[in-house]
């Protein structure tokens, strides 16, 4: 894993959108805004290369900025969950 | 009968489990011992398959178990049971039985795991349960783990190898296990260990998977029908149960009489076969049980499974009232929003209207008016079919007839509901199967028409994919105010002109409408004033008289000016027509073919109006009107273009016939010459190949190179023939007008009719299969020439030679097979997609969520854009904005 990071940081790859761990405050605001629980957000495994790369832990929420043809950029969120294997 | 008095209950949860033999006996109304149904007098035999203790089917008779009748107080029917002489395996559970045997000891019944392993798995299962994870893989792991040990840890017995011979035979170390032996084994399994085998102790014991008692379903589930001849015909299930009882009886007798083991075993197996097919008559590995006529019986599993099964046919889908189906036919005088409903159908379909203080006089009049002498029988007048009176929670339906109309009308009370017949402008949903997209079901306004077919505007054919070669369509009348409001806003045809598939119009002028506008606008047509008035009358034109020209003392109106009456005043457009030839040096605004359209302030200055102006998908005028002026204007434009196009084409006349494909002898000679040249080239290629002089293309073998070169040569020969033919088919030719304007057909169609059909292919290659080294005996072995491998040099008009005809059929067959395969496969794919996506919707906060509240997207499509209102998928039309600013709009 460490070696991978040294060889190439996947976050710099053109096809990997920008991921960011959001703060507790942002998290509560987000959940309040959509009137949801965190498990209603799309999930991402903690073993996902992106999570490993940015050090996301289960329970945290990632904010994702994607490029879009029609909307320039679009935002999405993912809830980090523990991988079962 | 109505729901008003019943208490509604909500199902909290349901679970499936096994029935124990005791439970089966306890719920049984009677034991069934006789295989017969009715005696000679037609009475059901006691303890037979039609015993009235299992419920009754004839109305009026009373059930002997609950004392109720079938219709009125609803005896639901009661189960019976058959005591099986010997136990039998239940096919549906065979896999579970096998797994139980594999993971337990035959001698002591313990799981073949160490105590530590068992405790670990119990712990693991608990964890899975808490996390709500899928436990199936864990159970699988338990079984594979137990199979690994070769000796029982508890008693030391050697573990045998359990094999399953489909469908119902089990072997231990190659020795057959009888169902009795299996049952004894399963009985030994401990209750405490069952959870590890995925069996809930509270609901089941593994030995119940071996049947010792067979439940007999109530007669109401397998009613017998009396044919006109008075003969009784029994249900398939009853037939199967008769077989079961017969064999069961013989087995019992033989066993009790101490018959040889071999005979008993044979009968036992036969009983197993009958019970297996009774449960599922499509069990693989055994022949399906058949009716006397040879038709396979429809037994229990067949009642539930598949498209015609209970789930898909009766529970997910239902037959509905207030609907009609008939043949469709075209009517260009209807608006795209309308549907013509035959009078006979309109008199059957109804809309409920609640009687209030405000409408009671109207309602009363409606009931009687239809039967009053005053109105002529030719006029349609909506009447009332039923009056529904509600008193003390009971609903009574009164049928209105000519006789009772007066009295019913007088007695009409406020609060009742009248079911009035269809009136013009009622909203109805119109649908054609297969319903592949949302435009397959749209709301139309009803228009009452004579005769017996549904009619609608031709422009609405493409979204329904309808034609009039006998197609039928369905009509549903909306029954509630909410439904009507929703349909009006979301489902009306005019709201669906723009397709969400590609963000453009899917409804627009077609066929004769395009031909009509073409002949009106193509050649600076001067229309005599009388004809012009006729055309303008058809579109309902109101306004100042158009500019006229006088020639030879006669007054004319220009075709462009007539068309311009349909355009909004603020329309400015410039674009190329469909007929544009894409000349090498385009003289754009001054196109000699009148193929450049210029519209200024709603006046058509020049250009030909064809598919690129008014057609679906590409119609520029249509698109612009919808975007700038909305759906109402769009609908009005399509309606008017339809009427205008049809009026023009009927007035001027438009005929296509076989001589449209005639070309001069000179042209035919040229085509033949061209084809000869092509053939010669192919002969040379073949010769070069045979002499090993051909140079192969990179990455191709010589043979492949030759094939590719020949395919190219044949393609070129066909194109050349088409070109020559096309040169002689001018715009005075109706078939050409249709092809070039985009009304119907293509120049390829025409060139195949009058030039050359071209190379036939199967699987993208020249035709090569058939006899040894040749396609047909008409050719020499190894002939690689054009005609031996499926090149059709003739045209459709001249006719094909026998060999050409044969090759053409081969190519045609491939096309047919392809479509057949494609439709079934894509249908299944679509079904699965729909099942996966049916409860995903856009919420008010623009998130896309599941029924379960799971967010799928945070904004719809990640851009929040409605594809139907988008510009062919793009969110904004920058060019348009720049243009508008430039022109100071
Ligand atoms: Mg058809
Ligand atoms: Zn009963
Ligand atoms: Zn044992
Ligand atoms: Zn041009």
Please state the three-class secondary structure of B250-288 as a single string.
Answer: HHHHHHHCCCCHHHHHHHHHHHHHHHHHHHCCCCCCCCC
Residue with tokens 């005769």: B451
Sheet of B855-857: strand order equals B841-842, B848-849, B855-857
Q: Does the pLDDT of residue B660 top 50, yes or no?
A: yes
Q: Which two tokens stand for residue B729?
A: 């088919």
* Nearest CB partner across the interface for A76, out of B858, B865, B870: B858
Using a CB–CB cutoff of 8 Å, tell me whether A32 touches chain B.
no
pTM, to two decimals: 0.81
Cβ partners under 8 Å of residue B474, min gap 6: B323, B324, B325, B430, B431, B432, B433
Using a CB–CB cutoff of 8 Å, tell me whether B861 touches chain A.
yes
Q: Does the pLDDT of residue A4 top 70, yes or no?
A: no
Minimum mean pLDDT among A28-42, B86-100, B547-561: which range? B547-561
What local confidence, expressed as pLDDT, does residue B889 receive?
A: 61
What local confidence, expressed as pLDDT, does residue B488 receive?
A: 94
Closest chain B residue to the Cα of A79, Cα to Cα: B855
User: B212, B87 in Cβ contact below 8 A?
Assistant: yes
Q: Does the pLDDT of residue B423 top 90, yes or no?
A: yes
More confident: B25 or A70: B25
Render B549-604 in DSSP notation, one character per residue.
EEETTEEEEEHHHHHHTTS-TT--EEEE-TT----SS--GGG-TTS-EEEEETTEE
Q: How far apart are CA B84 and CA B252, in angstroms?
A: 9
Q: Do B858 and A36 touch (CB under 8 A)?
A: no
Minimum mean pLDDT among B124-128, B172-176, B468-472, B876-880: which range? B876-880
CATH of domain A34-85: 3.90.940.20
What local confidence, expressed as pLDDT, does residue B2 receive?
A: 46
Q: Which two tokens stand for residue B720?
A: 């050349």
What local confidence, expressed as pLDDT, does residue A85 receive?
A: 62
Q: Does the pLDDT of residue B51 top 60, yes or no?
A: yes
Q: Do A34 and B855 touch (CB under 8 A)?
A: yes
Per cent of chain B over pLDDT 90 is 42
Using a CB–CB cutoff of 8 Å, tell me whether A28 touches chain B.
no
Q: Do A40 and B859 touch (CB under 8 A)?
A: no
Cβ partners under 8 Å of residue B12, min gap 6: none
Cβ partners under 8 Å of residue B119, min gap 6: none
For chain A, what is the total number of helices (H) and then of strands (E)?
3, 4
Q: How far is B857 from chain A (nearest CA, A)?
A: 7
Cα-to-centroid distance, B107 and ligand 3 (Å): 5
Q: How far apart are CA B450 and CA B454, in angstroms?
A: 10
User: B333, B325 in Cβ contact below 8 A?
Assistant: no
Helices B179-188 and B94-103 cross at an angle (nearest 10°) of 60
What local confidence, expressed as pLDDT, does residue B1 receive?
A: 43
Residue with tokens 């549907």: B339
What local confidence, expressed as pLDDT, does residue B38 receive?
A: 85
What local confidence, expressed as pLDDT, does residue A28 receive?
A: 93
- Which tens digit of pLDDT belongs to each residue from B65-97? 888 877 666 788 899 999 999 999 999 999 999
Q: Do B873 and A71 touch (CB under 8 A)?
A: no
What local confidence, expressed as pLDDT, does residue A12 receive?
A: 87
What local confidence, expressed as pLDDT, does residue B3 receive?
A: 47
Using a CB–CB cutoff of 8 Å, tell me whether B875 touches chain A.
yes
What local confidence, expressed as pLDDT, does residue B619 receive?
A: 87
User: B774, B788 in Cβ contact below 8 A?
Assistant: yes
What local confidence, expressed as pLDDT, does residue B685 receive?
A: 86
Q: Do A70 and B873 touch (CB under 8 A)?
A: yes
Using a CB–CB cutoff of 8 Å, tell me whether A40 touches chain B.
yes
Q: Do B862 and A66 touch (CB under 8 A)?
A: yes
Closest chain B residue to the Cα of A63, Cα to Cα: B858
- Which tens digit of pLDDT belongs to each residue from B105-122? 998 888 888 888 889 999
Q: Does the pLDDT of residue B861 top 80, yes or no?
A: yes
What is the pLDDT averaged over residues B218-243? 88
Q: How far apart are CA A75 and CA A61, in angstroms?
A: 13
**Domain residue extents for chain A:** 34-85
Report chain B residues whose CB lies below 8 A from the CB of A34: 845, 847, 855, 858
List B430's β-bridge partners, or say none.
B442, B475
b/e per residue, B821-854, with b = 16+ CB within 10 A? eeeeeeeeeeeeeeeeeeeeebeeeebbbeeeee
User: B353, B387 in Cβ contact below 8 A?
Assistant: no
What local confidence, expressed as pLDDT, does residue B240 receive?
A: 92
Q: How far is A36 from chain B (nearest CA, A)?
A: 8
- Which tens digit of pLDDT belongs to each residue from B592-614? 888 888 898 888 888 899 899 99
Q: How far apart are CA B643 and CA B639, in angstroms?
A: 6
Using a CB–CB cutoff of 8 Å, tell me whether A12 touches chain B.
no
CA angle B336-B339-B343, nearest 5°? 155
Instruction: State whether residue B708 is helix, strand or coil.
Output: helix
User: B721, B751 in Cβ contact below 8 A?
Assistant: yes
Q: How far apart are CA B171 and CA B163, in angstroms?
A: 5
Instruction: State whether residue B172 is helix, strand or coil.
Output: strand
* Nearest CB partner across the interface for A36, out of B133, B853, B865: B853
Minimum mean pLDDT among B242-246, B321-325, B721-725: which range? B721-725
Cα dihedral: B812, B817, B819, B825 (round 10): -170
Report chain B residues whose CB lies below 8 A from the CB of A40: 849, 853-855
Minimum mean pLDDT among B398-407, B465-474, B503-512, B582-591: which range? B582-591
User: B752, B795 in Cβ contact below 8 A?
Assistant: yes
Instruction: Give the pLDDT band of residue B589 (cuts 50, 70, 90).
Output: confident
- Could you give the C-alpha distances from B525 to B528, B560, B561, B568, in angstroms and in order? 10, 8, 10, 22
* Nearest CB partner across the interface for A71, out of B845, B862, B873: B862
Q: Does the pLDDT of residue A21 top 80, yes or no?
A: yes
What local confidence, expressed as pLDDT, does residue B885 receive?
A: 85
Using a CB–CB cutoff of 8 Å, tell me whether A82 touches chain B.
no
Q: Does the pLDDT of residue B817 top 50, yes or no?
A: yes
Closest chain B residue to the Cα of A33, Cα to Cα: B845
- Could you give the C-alpha distances from A54 to A9, A38, A62, B480, B495, in angstroms and in order? 10, 20, 10, 56, 48
Q: Does the pLDDT of residue B5 top 60, yes or no?
A: no
Q: How far apart are CA A24 and CA B583, in angstroms?
A: 66
Report chain A residues whose CB lies below 8 A from the CB of B869: none
Instruction: Give the pLDDT band of residue B390 (cuts 50, 70, 90).
Output: confident
Instruction: Give the pLDDT band of residue B477 (cuts 50, 70, 90).
Output: very high
Q: Which two tokens stand for residue B835?
A: 């099942």
Q: What is the mean pLDDT of chain B?
A: 89
Instruction: Give the pLDDT band of residue B427 (cuts 50, 70, 90).
Output: very high
Q: Which two tokens stand for residue B55?
A: 């419920």
Sheet of B169-172: strand order equals B162-165, B169-172, B175-177
What local confidence, expressed as pLDDT, does residue A3 receive?
A: 53
């Amino acid at each position: 894993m460490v070696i991978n990071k040294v060889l190439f940081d996947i976050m710099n790859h053109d096809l990997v959108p920008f991921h960011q761990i959001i703060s507790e405050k942002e998290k509560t605001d987000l959940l309040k805004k959509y009137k949801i629980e965190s498990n209603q957000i799309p999930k991402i495994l903690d073993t996902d290369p992106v999570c490993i790369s940015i050090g996301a832990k289960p329970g945290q929420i990632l904010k994702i900025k994607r490029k879009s043809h029609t909307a320039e950029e679009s935002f999405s969120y993912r809830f980090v969950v523990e991988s079962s294997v | 009968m109505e729901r008003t008095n019943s208490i509604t209950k909500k199902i909290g949860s349901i679970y499936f489990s096994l029935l124990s033999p005791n439970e089966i006996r306890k719920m049984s109304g009677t034991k069934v011992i006789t295989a017969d149904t009715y005696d000679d007098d037609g009475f059901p035999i006691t303890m037979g398959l039609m015993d009235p203790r299992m419920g009754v089917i004839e109305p009026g008779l009373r059930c002997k178990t609950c004392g109720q009748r079938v219709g009125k107080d609803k005896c639901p029917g009661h189960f019976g049971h058959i005591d099986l002489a010997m136990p039998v395996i239940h096919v549906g559970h065979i896999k579970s039985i096998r797994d139980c045997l594999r993971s337990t000891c035959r001698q002591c019944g313990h799981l073949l795991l160490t105590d530590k392993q068992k405790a670990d798995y119990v712990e693991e299962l608990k964890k899975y349960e808490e996390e709500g994870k899928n436990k199936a893989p864990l159970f699988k792991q338990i079984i594979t783990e137990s199979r690994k040990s070769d000796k029982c840890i508890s008693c030391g017995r050697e573990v045998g190898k359990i094999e399953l011979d489909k469908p119902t035979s089990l072997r231990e170390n190659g020795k057959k296990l009888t169902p009795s032996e299996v049952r004894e084994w399963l009985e030994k399994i401990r209750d405490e260990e069952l959870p590890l085998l995925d069996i809930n102790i509270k609901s089941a014991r593994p030995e119940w998977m071996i049947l010792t008692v067979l439940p007999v379903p109530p007669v109401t589930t397998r009613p017998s029908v009396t044919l006109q001849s008075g003969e009784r015909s029994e249900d398939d299930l009853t037939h199967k149960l008769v077989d079961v009882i017969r064999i069961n009886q013989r087995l019992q007798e033989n066993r009790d009489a101490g018959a040889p083991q071999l005979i008993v075993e044979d009968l036992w197996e036969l009983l197993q076969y009958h019970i297996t097919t009774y449960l599922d008559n499509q069990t693989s590995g055994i022949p399906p049980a058949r009716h006397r006529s040879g038709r396979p019986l429809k037994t229990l599993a067949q009642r539930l499974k598949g498209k015609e099964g209970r789930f898909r046919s009766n529970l997910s889908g239902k037959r509905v009232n207030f609907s009609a189906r008939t043949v469709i036919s075209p009517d260009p005088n209807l608006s795209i929003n309308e549907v013509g409903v035959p009078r006979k159908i309109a008199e059957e379909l109804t809309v409920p209207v609640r009687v209030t203080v405000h409408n009671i006089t109207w309602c009363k009049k409606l009931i009687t008016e239809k039967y009053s002498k005053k109105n002529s029988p030719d006029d349609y007048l909506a009447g009332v079919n039923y009056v529904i009176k509600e008193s003390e929670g009971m609903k009574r339906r009164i049928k209105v007839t000519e006789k009772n109309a007066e009295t019913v009308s007088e007695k009409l009370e406020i609060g009742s509901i009248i079911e009035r017949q269809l009136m013009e402008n009622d909203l109805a949903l119109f649908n054609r199967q297969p319903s592949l997209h949302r435009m397959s079901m749209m709301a139309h306004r009803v228009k009452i028409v004579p005769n017996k077919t549904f009619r609608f505007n031709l422009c609405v054919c493409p979204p329904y994919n309808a034609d009039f070669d006998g197609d039928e369509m369905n009509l549903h009348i909306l029954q509630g105010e909410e439904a009507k409001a929703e349909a009006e806003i979301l489902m009306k045809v005019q709201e669906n002109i723009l397709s969400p598939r590609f963000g453009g119009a899917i409804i627009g002028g077609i066929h004769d409408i395009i031909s009509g506008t073409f002949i009106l606008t193509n050649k600076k047509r001067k229309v005599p004033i009388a004809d012009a008035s006729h055309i303008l009358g058809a579109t309902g034109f109101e306004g100042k008289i158009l500019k006229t020209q006088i020639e030879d003392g006669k007054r004319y109106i220009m075709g462009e000016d007539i068309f311009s009456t349909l355009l909004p005043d603020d329309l400015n457009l410039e674009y190329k027509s469909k007929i544009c030839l894409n000349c090498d040096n385009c003289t754009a605004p001054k196109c000699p073919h009148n193929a450049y359209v210029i519209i200024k302030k709603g006046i058509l200055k020049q250009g030909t109006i064809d598919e690129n102006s008014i057609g679906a998908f590409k119609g520029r005028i249509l698109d612009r009107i919808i975007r700038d002026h909305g759906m109402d204007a769009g609908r009005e434009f399509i309606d008017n273009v339809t009427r205008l196009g049809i009026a023009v084409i009927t007035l001027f006349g438009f005929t296509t016939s076989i001589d449209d494909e005639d070309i001069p002898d000179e042209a035919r000679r040229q085509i033949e010459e061209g084809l000869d040249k092509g053939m010669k080239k192919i002969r040379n290629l073949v010769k070069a190949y045979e002499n090993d002089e051909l140079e192969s293309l990179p990455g191709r073998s010589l043979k492949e190179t030759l094939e590719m070169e020949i395919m190219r040569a044949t393609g070129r020969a066909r194109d050349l023939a088409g070109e020559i033919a096309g040169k002689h088919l001018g715009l005075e030719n109706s078939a050409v007008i249709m092809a070039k304007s985009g009304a119907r057909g293509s120049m390829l169609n025409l060139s195949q009719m009058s030039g050359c059909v071209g190379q036939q292919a199967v699987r993208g290659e020249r035709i090569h299969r058939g006899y040894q080294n040749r396609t047909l005996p008409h050719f020499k072995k190894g002939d690689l020439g054009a005609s031996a491998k499926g090149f059709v040099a003739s045209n459709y008009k001249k006719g094909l030679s026998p060999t050409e005809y044969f090759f053409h059929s081969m190519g045609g067959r491939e096309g047919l097979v392809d479509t057949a395969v494609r439709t079934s496969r894509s249908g299944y794919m679509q079904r699965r997609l729909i099942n996966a996506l049916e409860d995903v919707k856009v919420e008010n906060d623009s998130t896309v969520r599941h029924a379960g509240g799971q967010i799928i997207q945070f904004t719809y499509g990640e851009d929040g854009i409605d594809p139907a209102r988008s510009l062919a998928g793009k969110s904004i039309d920058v060019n348009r904005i720049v243009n508008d600013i430039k022109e100071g709009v």
